[in-house]
Structure 1
Amino acid sequence: MQGEAAGAQAFANFDTLLAPFIRHENLSYESVKRAIRRFIFNMNIPTRVGFQTPFTNITMDLVVPGNMKDEAVVIAGEIHDSTYGDYQEEMYMINRAFAEVMLEGDAKGRIFTFPIPTYNITSNFDWDNKQLDPVWEMTAKYGIPYFANFVNSDMSPDDARSMCCRLRLDNRELRKRGGGLFGSNPLTGSIGVVTINMPRLGFKNKGNKETYFKELKYLMEVAKDSLEIKRKMLEKLTEQGLYPYSKHYLSGIKERTGKFWTNHFSTIGLIGMNEAALNFMGKDIASPEGQMFAIETLEFMRDVMKEYQETTGNFYNLEATPGEGTSYRLAKIDKEKFPEIKSMGNKEPYYTNSTQLPVFYTKDLFKALSHQDPLQTRYTGGTVFHIFLGERLNSIEATKQLVKKVAENFHMPYYSLTPTFSVCPTHGYLAGEFFNCPKCKEEEQQKIISEISELKELLEQHVK
């Protein structure tokens, strides 16, 4: 599938669906851990186009979802008498094995990049469950997991699908289409993303909201047209067999709706809202005026996309585009065309990601969360807030409490902890930021002291 897609591949209900196989095959914990290790190593082998590692995301339920508890288990195509709700202990085995393998890293102590696990935090989440301690240890050491916040949300875990490091889809939209989600829940995604250059928009329409929103609407029309053309081409090429894997997996949707890509969204994103505010009103997004301007922009874009859904009959959503490359590319182009345009960076210009605060704006985590909360909740197609920590969290309890505090006090839909660590080729994992390994330095010093001592002894013997 990765050979047919530019973005990520996601696997929903990973532990729930695999748990019955453990009992069916009578596997020991060591066998489960070996299988998980094999899976993780395979996920980190460059097998994608361009010799890249497949970008994969898995959703770990931890406990059996309500909509699957009474569902009959299917193994090797056969329906069994048991239900998924009967395999909670096996789910714990999978989660423990996964966390332990990720904690160990590879032979040199380096982190595994994929798959990225998503854990759903609900109001009845069991924070005291000792079975989940390896998950919290993994979070404290590497910050690998992403957390989907359903505590302060009108959605339940059954309503959302985390497709990659950002894209989250609202399954309620799919239910409205009819035909239900049974058997086709994960068969969704995005056919493509078009990112709108907000700083240029702010610069060209300085101080004039009427022309600003008029041009934004025009750019969104261009984005919509390109996505509609792409959708038609995808349908045509899939029908002709040029996407054989997608054609196979989406065949059920084709039978029900007449199209392969009906359940896939068209995504419009934005970049550089901070610089858009700077160019438009002379104030950054951190200011009350800049924040309100960003909220107004997001609300406008959401309303326009609702119109597109009604007129085209296709799903549209608004995403906080990751923009790792777009951030620099668009800023460089704009600086050449409009030398007076404001951007971040001195020698190398760049735009701040989506509606994020400027880099290094504040070290106060809760100040940043309070600012971003009303912005991040307005995205319908996904966003993520990275909680950058200067060091490793030293205890499981501290890790749990931080994740819990964010979930209970903010509406932030999707967030992750990002502790700072370094990897030495010789000594592996090091907590904190190091440009030179302190252990290597100490060993080098000991080696020098040892060599000096040996030289001293030789000189003394020579003198005698």
Structure 2
Amino acid sequence: MCRSFLSPWKDENGEYKFEGRFNQGVVSLNLPQIGIVAAGDEEKFWDLLDNRLDLCFEALMCRHNALKGTLADESPIHWQYGAIARLPQGETIDKLLMDGYSTISLGYIGLYEVTKLMTGVSHVDPKGEAFALKVMKRLEETTKKWKAETGLGFGLYGSPAESLCYRFAKIDLQKFGQIEDITDKGYYTNSYHVDVREEIDAFSKLQFESQFQPISTGGCISYIEIPNMQHNLEALKQLVNYIYHNIQYAEFNTKSDCCHVCHFEGEITLNDDLSWECPNCHNKDQAKMNVIRRTCG
């Protein structure tokens, strides 16, 4: 999971431990569907949200209980030889599931869509922003309550949803029909992200989304789209510095390619066969080109 965070955990000596920890699983909440069913009725929305959260809790506890009693012998490389732990033969992994040593995550998707459904505006609008923050804080409070009640490392997680963003939207399209700006576009927006169609500059997007990251303690990430910056490195430096000082975790998608046959620098494109092809010399040898679409940090 590219954006998953482990919450702080200390051993018996009071030392923070980072290696050998893991996540027990994620269950993701379809926020837009709750907004569709609530149909603008905020009281109904909060009742539905609480009911769906109860269902998510049951599903997450099913994941946890399925792991309980697992013997270290079932995957020695993980549990006995140090990939995660060094447990003796015949011992269960149960102690690694408790007290926050491992995390267990409530995911969410479609904060933009549910805000649009309930307020009529995007969550970048002040009215929508207030509602979106209220939703996020309810999710955060719920995971904290679960953690206190069970002793498990519950956290709120901005689901990557590479396929789930399409699956949830498809399910809701079949169930509720076409809803303008919600089910008609074929996808739901990733976690708390600004809608991809929103006209917003990179710095403003990062600044806006930064307020949601401290709430998503189980993991989150923000993205921005930028052109090829090879000839404007000073602007790229400013962008990286802004990310460093203003947001926990962000990536930028860019196009910075190079063909090693003709030394073309620019954008290498996908051809009809879905293979990378240099637009200058038509080189298709993947070993003789560099294609960059994302920079992480």
What is the TM-score with the length of structure 1 in the denominator? 0.53
Q: 1:422/1:178 Cα in 2 relative to 1: closer, same or farther (>3 Å)?
A: same
Matches within 5 A, 1:430-445: 430-432=265-267, 434=269, 437-440=278-281
State the 1:405 CA deviation: 2.5
- For residue 48 of structure 2, the aligned residue among 215, 223, 234 is 215
Distance in 1, matches of 2:31 and 2:55, equals 15
User: Of 241, 253, 257, which residue of structure 1 is paired with 2:73?
Assistant: 241
- What is the CA distance between 1:313 and its match in structure 2? 0.9
Q: Which has the higher helix share?
A: 1
Tell me the distance in 1 between the aligned counterparts of 2:157 and 2:167.
19
Q: Does 1:361 align with 2:198?
A: yes
Could you tell me whether the CA contact under 8 Å between 1:192 and 1:227 is conserved in 2? Answer: yes
Partners of 2:159 and 2:191 within 8 A in 1: yes
The answer to whether the 8 A contact 2:173-2:183 is kept is no
Matches for 1:316-335 after TM superposition, within 5 Å? 316-335=154-173
Instruction: Give the alignment partner of residue 210 of structure 2, picking from 359, 370, 373.
Output: 373
Cα separation, partners in 2 of 1:419 and 1:243, compared to 1, 3 Å: same
1:402 equivalenced with 2:236 (yes/no): no
What CA distance in whole angstroms lies between the structure 2 residues aligned with 1:243 and 1:429?
A: 48
CA distance in 2, matches of 1:279, 1:355: 15
Structure 2 SS opposite 1:259 = helix
- For residues 241 and 73 of structure 2, the distance between their equivalents in structure 1, rounded to whole angstroms, comes to 47
Q: Residue 149 of structure 2 aligns with which residue?
A: 311
Matched, 1:226 2:59: yes
Report how far residue 406 of structure 1 moved: 2.8
* Counterparts of 2:87 and 2:141, CA distance in 1: 28
How far apart are the structure 1 equivalents of 2:262 and 2:159?
36
Shift in Å, 1:376: 2.4
1:7-86 to structure 2, matched below 5 A, reads none
Structure 2: 5+ residue stretches without partners: 271-276, 283-297
Structure 1 residue 387, shift from structure 2 partner:
2.5
Map residues 286-301 of structure 1 onto 2, 5 A cutoff.
286-301=124-139
Question: Could you say which residue in structure 2 is the equivalent of 1:268?
Answer: 106
Deviation at 1:364, TM superposition (A): 1.1
Task: Report the number of matched residues.
Answer: 271
Residue 413, structure 1, aligned to residue 279, structure 2: no
* Structure 2 length-normalised TM: 0.80
CA drift at 1:210: 2.2
**C-alpha displacement of 1:296:** 0.5
Aligned counterparts, 1:105-124, within 5 A: none
Aligned to 1:124: none
Q: C-alpha offsets along residues 95-126 of structure 1, whole Å, 9 cap, x if unaligned?
A: xxxxxxxxxxxxxxxxxxxxxxxxxxxxxxxx
Distance 1:429 1:268 in 2: 46
CA-based RMSD of the aligned residues comes to 3.0
Of 385-394 and 425-434, deviating more is: 425-434
User: Where does 1:148-167 land on structure 2 (aligned, <5 Å)?
Assistant: 164-167=1-4
Amino acid across the alignment from 1:261 = L
Are the aligned partners of 1:266 and 1:316 in contact in 2 as well (CA < 8 Å)?
yes
Tell me if 1:170 matches 2:7: yes
Give, as a single letter, the amino acid of the residue that structure 2 aligns with 1:281. T
Which amino acid in structure 1 is aligned with residue 24 of structure 2?
Answer: I
Q: Could you say if the C-alpha distance between residues 376 and 258 of structure 1 is closer, same or farther in structure 2, counting changes exceeding 3 Å?
A: closer
1:433 deviates by 6.3
SS in 1 for 2:40: coil
Structure with greater Cα Rg: 1
Q: Are the structure 2 counterparts of residues 421 and 393 from structure 1 closer, same or farther at C-alpha, using a change threshold of 3 Å?
A: closer
Give the deviation of 1:434 after TM superposition. 4.4
Unpaired segments of 5 or more residues in structure 1?
Answer: 1-163, 442-464
